[in-house]
A and B are shown apart, each in its own frame.
Chain A
């Protein structure tokens, strides 16, 4: 049995191979039986260094999951080369060097938590120990219960325990907090901080800009199978401007008048009217909210942070993207 990672020393610098290396990756599906061929991943080049924490951001269908699946050897690219720690993905997986927390599904509902961990552990020649990973994922007290009885967040912690079994150098998380409530999400990322501190390379896909912002060193923004932005969270943040302010005005005429007035302010990017409600995007949401409340007679003022969609629109300049408003936890109701 290997030493649990929490006690392990910082990983040695390996100058020979990057944690993850993707070059000219293309992957498309369908098209055999007359259906339209979908280009899930359309020319991705990416290098991830050891110890980096990278967020893959993008809407559904952006190619995040397909890209991560290829890194894990679950599917193969049509063209291009990729390696994980200098190894072919399947070999890296078989050697326990890379591991993953997959999206929902993938657990046997009629096993207990402990049995699930034992089952997966039995496939590895060496592993961190069933008790160790159960404890590190915070599952000790409920390990005798059947998986079917667990909430989405608890099941996700179980998938995390499974991912820790081989004591991997690279940990891949595909929307790890989907279906979790705010508290569970926060707890999950707190656990993940400990893993990052132990020197693992962590790559995760997410819908939540907040998560990427709080946890990643680097954000890779994907859209339509391509990388459209790649930089530190600060760099991406700066481009994904502002917050959105919503407010109800006494009537439609007032709403139009206020919207016109707001458009005159340089910091305001846009001001839309729907009925007697205005929607304003701006770098300085506090000032706009104050103005609306104090001078325009606005009620029900609501401020939402820049959603993934707005970041996406800002960066790609693609207004055709379906703007599903992605209200975040930071939503404030005044």
Chain B
């Protein structure tokens, strides 16, 4: 791994304060508002409490904002000519992808770490293994969304499109049961949206597959295959779309 390149790239991204705000500070703020400061935060939820549930959800949002941004910017910078510049060096496409993937994981880890740290300080409680497994699932699952950002970058070729991609995550977050517990037909629809499977899996160590029905207060169990199929199908969709867009881009050169 080219550590000099990695270090410079990390420096470049972390000094983009606007992006870092949306990636790290906003999810942390959401957690404090919707989680830590609410009365229900101490109520039990699965293997922990409600604060923990909201903490994982907000970390998930921050992590996908991070990876979507990295994926999108990679596409845009390559199409704006940096790809040609790199093509004049011995660096291989594989090396470039592995650097960008490492960056995506590192940047996704920032909101996860920040929100988890705030959670630990403000009353999020769960068994130790819940903290560990949730964090790992959050981190790995977020990589799927670098493909989501990549698709936007490849399709629209501008920084604005990448910001738009990050913006759509707010909508997908609501639709995917991240910000607000959904019930009834909304929950049924949610299961088909891209963020649902990811956040559901990240919360699995805590909830073991139960969803809270906010109208009745009952816990509804969900089959474990549903979020897994959701993640697999959406990853395939993003990957196929990205591949097609790359080919289309080549044809146009």
Contact = CB atoms under 8 A, between A and B. Distances in A.
Interface of A: 29-30, 32, 72-75, 93-96, 99-100, 102, 104-108, 110-111, 115, 118-125, 159, 162-163, 166
21 contacts: A32-B251, A72-B87, A74-B87, A102-B81, A102-B84, A104-B81, A106-B81, A106-B84, A106-B85, A111-B8, A111-B12, A115-B12, A121-B4, A122-B2, A122-B4, A122-B8, A123-B2, A123-B86, A123-B89, A123-B90, A162-B85
A119 B4 contact: yes
A94 B95 CA distance: 14
A96 B253 CA distance: 25
B82 A107 contact: yes
Given A93-B87, A95-B90, A107-B82, 5 more contacts: A30-B251, A32-B251, A111-B12, A120-B89, A122-B4
Nearest to B95: A123
B253 A75 contact: yes
Interface in B2-50: 2, 4-5, 8-9, 11-12, 15-16
Interface residues of B, number: 23
A147 to B, nearest CB: 11
Contacts of A118: 4, 8
Contacts of B4: 118-119, 121-122
A105 B80 contact: yes
Nearest to B250: A75
Contacts of A29: 253
B91 interface: yes
Interface string B66-86: 000000000001001110111
A166 B88 CA distance: 10
A118 B9 CA distance: 11
Contact of A107 (B5, B85, B90, B91): B85
A216 to B, nearest CB: 22
Contacts of A115: 8, 11-12
A124 B81 contact: no
Nearest to B87: A74
B90 A125 contact: yes
B83 to A, nearest CB: 8
B80 A106 contact: yes
Contacts of B88: 72, 74, 93, 99-100, 102, 162-163
A30 B251 CA distance: 7
Interface in B216-253: 251, 253
Contact of B81 (A30, A94, A105, A123): A105
Given A75-B253, A115-B11, A107 B87 contact: no
Nearest to A103: B81
A73 B8 CA distance: 27
Given A75-B253, A123-B89, A110 B16 contact: yes
Nearest to A91: B90
Contacts of A73: 87
Contacts of A124: 89-90
Contacts of A162: 85, 88
Contacts of A163: 88
Given A32-B251, A122-B5, A107 B81 contact: yes
Nearest to A115: B8
Contacts of B80: 105-106
Contact of A102 (B77, B85, B251): B85
A108 B82 contact: yes
A124 B88 CA distance: 10
Contacts of B15: 110
Nearest to A105: B81
Contacts of A119: 4-5, 8-9
A114 to B, nearest CB: 10
